[in-house]
Amino acid sequence: MPKMVTGWVPNQPLATGVLAWRAAFPELRRRSTPWWGTPLRVLSARRQAGTRIARDLSTDVSGTRLRAYSIAVDAAAERLDQAETATLRQSGTLPAWFFDVVEEERRAWRRVRR
């Protein structure tokens, strides 16, 4: 089920890829955060240096993953039809298939990059 983006400004004069990125960003940030980042931060919370190292590691990993997602979102945004683009512009809602295509594009980009 597509999710509405809170605080969405309708009919922004931006490219479709940029709008798709803004609408998808909360979900992509969640997907790009490494599973081990939070437990590592909790375990090292008593030591300031350990916390900084954990934050730096997880931030670096999530930043790299977000870069891969940004390319994939641009590619997936090109597949939106007129009705889906109009819905995106009006409400910030992406179609249900969008994140599956983003994951496929991200994997394809990683294969080419290696």
Task: Give 6-60 pLDDT, tens digit per residue.
Answer: 778 888 899 999 999 999 988 888 887 766 556 655 555 555 554 555 455 445 4
Give the residue with greater pLDDT, 64 vs 112.
112
Does residue 10 lie in a domain region? no
Does residue 84 lie in a domain region? yes
Query: Mean pLDDT, to the nearest integer, of 55-66?
Result: 56
Q: How far is CA 2 from CA 33, 63, 91, 99, 106, in A?
A: 21, 25, 11, 10, 20
pLDDT value, residue 61 = 46
Query: Mean pLDDT, to the nearest integer, of 1-5?
Result: 59
pTM of the complete model beyond 0.75: no
Name the DSSP class of 8.
Answer: P
Q: pLDDT tens-digit profile of 91-110? A: 999 999 999 999 999 888 87
Does residue 9 lie in a domain region? no
Residues in the chain: 114
Q: How many separate domains does the chain show?
A: 1
Does residue 53 lie in a domain region? yes
| Domain membership of residue 88 as a residue range | 16-113
Answer yes or no: is pLDDT of 84 > 50.
yes
Q: Are 24 and 73 in contact (CB under 8 A)?
A: yes
Give the residue with greater pLDDT, 36 vs 80.
80
Q: Among the residues of the chain, which ranges form H helices?
A: 16-32, 37-43, 48-77, 82-91, 98-113
Does residue 5 lie in a domain region? no
Give the residue with greater pLDDT, 20 vs 3.
20
